[in-house]
Amino acid sequence: MEQKGAAMITLAKLKEKVKLLDIDAGVLALMPDYGIREKSKEVKVVCKKLERSISEKNWVNCIVLLGEIEKFENYYRNWLIDREGEENSEVLEAMHEYIVELEIGIEERLREGKKKCRGRRVKLVRSKNPSFKDSLRRKFSKNEEI
């Protein structure tokens, strides 16, 4: 049980990463360039939605929102290249790290959900199976046509 907990990124850890992304977006919102300021304000809204989706364990929505954040990461990277001629930025590197960790955590949660669903399906098939066999036996014993 402990191994499973260690392998899984907790909901609290996922939310922490989103908050750090939110802080980075807030820092970028203070930049004088209008384009990056507006985009970073949009990302702050996306971060709030992502945090809510994590709380609701809506992993599909998390992936969609994470895609929006990745688009912003690319926009910011290109913005840096246009301004400085390079893409080195502590904020960008931190954002990239948070995004990667969020992707890993959300993928783990999705896989865990699929395993649970598969387990339930197997149990349902097993529970239905004996009654199906019983009905076949009855039909054969009565020589009914199937």
Which pLDDT band holds residue 146 (cuts at 50, 70, 90)?
A: very low
The total domain count for the chain is 1
Is residue 93 situated within a structural domain?
yes
> Look-up: residue for tokens 């971060």?
47
Taking 90 as the threshold, does the pLDDT of residue 53 lie above it?
Answer: yes
In a domain, 121, yes or no: no
Residue 128: predicted pLDDT = 46
Q: Is the residue at 142 inside a domain?
A: no
Q: What percent of the chain has pLDDT over 70?
A: 70
Residue with the bigger pLDDT between 1 and 61: it is 61
82: closest CA among 90, 74, 71, 93?
Answer: 74
For residue 46, being part of any structural domain is answered with yes
84: containing domain: 2-110
Residue-averaged pLDDT of the chain: 79
Tell me if 17 is assigned to some domain. Answer: yes
**pLDDT band of 25, cuts 50, 70, 90:** very high
The answer to whether residue 144 sits within a structural domain is: no
Q: CA-CA distance, 78 to 89, in Å (whole number)?
A: 12
Q: How many angstroms separate the CA atoms of 9 and 17, rounded? A: 11
In a domain, 130, yes or no: no
The pLDDT assigned to 33 comes to 81
* Residue 101 domain-assigned (yes or no): yes
Instruction: Answer yes or no: is pLDDT of 7 > 70.
Output: no
Angular region, 85: left φ>0, alpha ψ -120 to 50, beta rest: left
Give pLDDT, residue 8: 67
pTM of the entire predicted model:
0.69
Tens-digit pLDDT profile for residues 63-114: 999 999 999 999 999 888 888 766 668 889 999 999 999 999 999 998 887 7
**pLDDT over 90 at 51, yes or no:** yes
